[in-house]
Structure 1
């Protein structure tokens, strides 16, 4: 969409969402004792550290809700958006593999960072959606493909029916997982579609929503994180509760295999409603808003770089090369500084790469598509497309 049609508050929220995701990956890959020492397992410190992955799922929820909010009423073909999305993912995934192939040939970095350069990983890199190079992007792609059909269905439902459908999907996808750890109904695609339904309802029925203030969103987030910490602590120990729930994993309420991040979805939803209900003034008229709107498209590149299976081990080994900081405040300072530096560097790389490679290639392909579309019209072929960017 043209910049004049973008609301900077949602673009800023997109940036915050990605910052939360990077923060989660930072703590998920640190080499500190609270993370790696078996003696810390089940302690309050270990449970709090593990529960930090809650932040990443809040980021995922916000990212999907933004997308749902802007396409919730569109029933036109998603092919153009899917093609742009696939191309953007491919233009990161494939070149990164080729770069590491070159590094393996030149022996430019230690060999253990190049063990992942195989024929199989090449297939994954060149078919990133099908081979699930990134779980989020594959699920997001499927969600985007389903979105016009979901929207068409919701056009024929009343407000009550639409919310009932959403609650049913959330129940089957997320709640059953908590009540039965062996439930197989949770999938990445179902997870994102459940969030999409929430975002679509927020867009379609704003007057039916309660008024959310900043302090309500803050309280909800703090309480949800606290419950994650307590739940992770309880689930980390063998007790009557875990026996009743069928011995679920300790990360049940946070993220990762076996998880059901319902608390993060609740928190992210409340935050999003607050932002959606907040009125913006002079959007896209200030230096601040223009900067946000210019940088927001780089957020997807941040994810595609730092979560790439070849870059990820190298990146975090560099970040955690120094000895573990001593003391809580030292750790907090190091974490805040490192996360900020990594995030800003990734955003800079993504911004430049988008400017030099992704955007020119996308425009070139769009021109070819437009030319074919014009020819198709002369032959009686109708190819409906939308003007949305792939991350909306």
Structure 2
């Protein structure tokens, strides 16, 4: 079995840290008059950066493979089961520990989390994987020029139009920023980098990253001070975080390949931090009651430091929880497989 390159496993861990930090900003019990401040929105740009990085890893390794819908289904089957497991466990816990008052449809979504888009990222990611037979065929057959044109078209309609309209509804041609449309560009960009062995020197990669970050934080200040009428968080989605993500990805491509059992071990379970803390039945309880992150609102240094530390601890703890899940899954799977073979005989 080929060892996983720990460079990319580090990117996987970082991507999830970014996403958890974003949720720290989103769901904290901050005072009402401070929610729309630059400080409270400090981690917000990094959520979409994390999403783009996670998808780029997939694009880099999957887009060059021959695949069909049967193989695509095999890729997402285990993720589907894991999503069901965490969603059902949290649903049971919500009855036992009473996380809050919810509508009936919230429980329906918890029972069928993938179909009913309980986790937008999981549902969209699964749809993306199911589209890989078509996407991979395009990557393989089309030349450099046509791929660049396709990526450009997707960037305009999936990463520019939605955040300009910015009314929270999926009325852009490829959906809003919480849809599979937002995943197409990072997937194809990573596929393009892999296919043509694109080399971006470390200096340029750092420059791209810094440019993306500066543009995002500049937009927060500009929008906050009324120069434009868009919401303060408008440019934390779409093109600007994608620029940052591409820069970070290229930085890691410049690093020498290496193998770390610890990094790979942690990376294998980081998705659990999303499935646990972003569950609609649990997230507000987690951030506002269990952690009570609002107490870290002031001073600014404490807000930033605790946001980073909480993200690190959350990802590590949830990765450890996922190891228990993997043991249970492995034993149940072997048991089912054994019984199925007995029945076949």
TM-score, normalised relative to structure 2? 0.86
The answer to whether structure 1 residue 274 and structure 2 residue 254 are counterparts is no
Residue in structure 2 matched with residue 252 of structure 1 by the alignment: 234
Residues 277 and 283, structure 2, Cα contact 8 Å, conserved in 1: yes
For 2:74 and 2:21, locate their aligned partners in 1 and report how far apart those are by CA, in whole Å: 32
Residue in structure 2 matched with residue 383 of structure 1 by the alignment: none
Residues 217 and 267, structure 1, Cα contact 8 Å, conserved in 2: no
Q: CA RMSD in A?
A: 2.6
1:188-223 CA deviation, whole Å, 9 max, x = no partner?
1111122211121111111xx24231x544443333
Residue in structure 2 matched with residue 98 of structure 1 by the alignment: 92
Residues 319 and 338, structure 1, Cα contact 8 Å, conserved in 2: no
For 1:292 and 1:179, locate their aligned partners in 2 and report how far apart those are by CA, in whole Å: 38
Q: More displaced, 327-336 or 194-203?
A: 327-336
Residues 174 and 186, structure 1, Cα contact 8 Å, conserved in 2: no
Cα offset for 1:303? 0.9
Structure with higher Rg: it is 1
SS in 2 for 1:73: coil
Residue in structure 2 matched with residue 389 of structure 1 by the alignment: none
Residue in structure 2 matched with residue 124 of structure 1 by the alignment: 109
Residue in structure 2 matched with residue 27 of structure 1 by the alignment: 25
Cα offset for 1:51? 4.5
Select 2:100's aligned residue among 93, 97, 114.
114
Cα offset for 1:337? 3.1
Residue in structure 1 matched with residue 158 of structure 2 by the alignment: 173
Alignment of 1:284-363 (within 5 A): 289-317=260-288, 318-320=290-292, 323-324=295-296, 326-355=298-327, 357-363=328-334
Structure-2 change in CA distance of 1:11 and 1:28 (3 Å): same
Select 2:200's aligned residue among 201, 211, 225.
211
Select 2:216's aligned residue among 208, 222, 228.
228
Cα offset for 1:331? 3.1
Cα offset for 1:326? 4.0
The answer to whether structure 1 residue 65 and structure 2 residue 56 are counterparts is yes
For 1:126 and 1:344, locate their aligned partners in 2 and report how far apart those are by CA, in whole Å: 27
Cα offset for 1:128? 0.8
For 2:336 and 2:46, locate their aligned partners in 1 and report how far apart those are by CA, in whole Å: 36
SS in 1 for 2:235: coil
Residues 163 and 234, structure 2, Cα contact 8 Å, conserved in 1: yes
1:145-177 CA deviation, whole Å, 9 max, x = no partner?
001111112222112211211111111111223
Cα offset for 1:97? 0.8
Residues 54 and 261, structure 1, Cα contact 8 Å, conserved in 2: no
For 1:309 and 1:332, locate their aligned partners in 2 and report how far apart those are by CA, in whole Å: 25
SS in 1 for 2:215: helix
1:334-368 CA deviation, whole Å, 9 max, x = no partner?
3333333223222221222222x233345556678
For 1:221 and 1:174, locate their aligned partners in 2 and report how far apart those are by CA, in whole Å: 17
Select 2:134's aligned residue among 144, 149, 154.
149
For 1:50 and 1:144, locate their aligned partners in 2 and report how far apart those are by CA, in whole Å: 31
For 1:155 and 1:340, locate their aligned partners in 2 and report how far apart those are by CA, in whole Å: 38
Cα offset for 1:11? 1.1
SS in 2 for 1:155: helix
SS in 2 for 1:359: helix
Aligned residues: 333
For 1:321 and 1:53, locate their aligned partners in 2 and report how far apart those are by CA, in whole Å: 15
Structure-2 change in CA distance of 1:179 and 1:32 (3 Å): closer
For 2:306 and 2:239, locate their aligned partners in 1 and report how far apart those are by CA, in whole Å: 30
Residue in structure 1 matched with residue 47 of structure 2 by the alignment: 56
